[in-house]
Amino acid sequence: MTVFTGSGVAIVTPFVENTHEIDYRSFQTLLDFHLDHGTDAIIVAGTTGESSTMTDEEQVDLIKFTVDHIDGRIPVIAGAGINDTRHAIRLSQQAENAGADALLILTPYYNKANHEGLLRHYRAIADSVDIPIIMYEVPGRTGMAMTVDEVVELSEHPNIVGLKDATGNMEFTRAVLERTDDDFAVYSGNDDLNHEIMTLGGKGVISVTANVLPDEVHELCQLHLDGNGQDAAVIDQQLEGINRDLFVEVNPIPVKYLVHKMGYCSLDYRLPLYEPSDEAKKVLDGYLTTLAKNNRD
C-alpha cells in the first residue's frame, strides 16, 4: 500500500521559550497551517522535529496529539526509529497505539549493523506492528549505507511499503525504483532532489522546505503526479535557493528559525542544538519577504 502521495512535511516541534517543554498551542496552529496550505501528510517526531532530545513519553504524546488534531484529514507518519531494536519496537507499538497511520524507521546509527543485523532489525520492527513502515535511509547522519539489494529484500515484507531516500545518490534511487514493485513508494528526503526523484518515479517527498513553503512543495509534487514535469521543473528552480540555504547550518536549526520568523513558534531548541549564527540568520532573512507574502495568502 502507498501511505501517501505528494508533499509530506517533516514538521518542526515548537518548544516553550526557556522551559523547553513542547508548546502544544503553537504546534496546533502549525498543524492547521499545513492543513490549510496543501500539505499531504504530517511526519511527526522525526529528525526535523528534534525527536532525539525527547523522552519516549514526550514523543508518544506528541504523536497522539497530532493524530487527534489531524483527525484523519491527512495521514500522520510517526518517527520511531532508534539504534536499539527492542527500543524501536516499543516506540513503534506505542506510536501505533497512539493512532499513527504509518511509521518512519531510521537505519541504525552509531552502532550500525552488518547485513544480517540490518535485515533482522527492520523485519523485527515490521513484525511487531500492524501499520505500514517507511524505511529512512540517510547515510550522512547514520554513518552507514543500505545497499539496493537490502532495500529490495526488505521491500518484500508486507508491512515495509516505502523508502525515504536521503542518500543524494541518484544511481541508488534509480536502481531501487527499477527493482522494487510499483506499490513500493520512494519518497525524496532531500529537497534539492525532489524534482529529480519524482521524475524517476518517486511518489512524493518528505520535506524540510514544506515547513515554510507548503503550497509550493505540494504544487511541485502534484504537477509530477499529474504528469506535468515541465511545470514542476519551474517551481523546482524557484525553490533552489531556499532548498540549499535551509541547510546553511545543520537541520533543523535554519528551518525552525524561519518558522519562528513567520510567527509560528519561539526560537527555542534543545541542546545540543542552538539558534543560528548571525551569518546564517542574514542568509535566512533574505527569504522573509517571500515567506510573509505566502503566509498572508
Q: Distances from the Cα of 2 to the Cαs of 14, 64, 214, in angstroms?
A: 29, 22, 21
Q: Scan for cell 529490495, then name that residue.
A: 152
The catalytic residue among 64, 109, 110, 136 is: 136
Q: Distances from the Cα of 133 to the Cαs of 112, 124, 160, 271, in angstroms?
A: 19, 12, 5, 29
Evaluate the omega torsion of the peptide bond into residue 272 and state whether it is cis, within 30 degrees of 0.
yes
Binding site, annotated residues: 48, 206
Question: What is the C-alpha separation between 243 and 190, in angstroms, rounded?
Answer: 9
Q: Is the dihedral of CA 101, 224, 205, 169 positive or negative?
A: positive
64 as an active site residue: the answer is no
Contacts of 101 (CB under 8 A, 6+ apart): 3, 75, 76, 77, 131, 132
Binding site, annotated residues for pyruvate: 48, 206
136 as an active site residue: the answer is yes
The catalytic residue among 64, 110, 112, 164 is: 164
Dig out the grid coordinates for 40 from the structure: 499531504
Q: Which residues are catalytic?
A: 136, 164
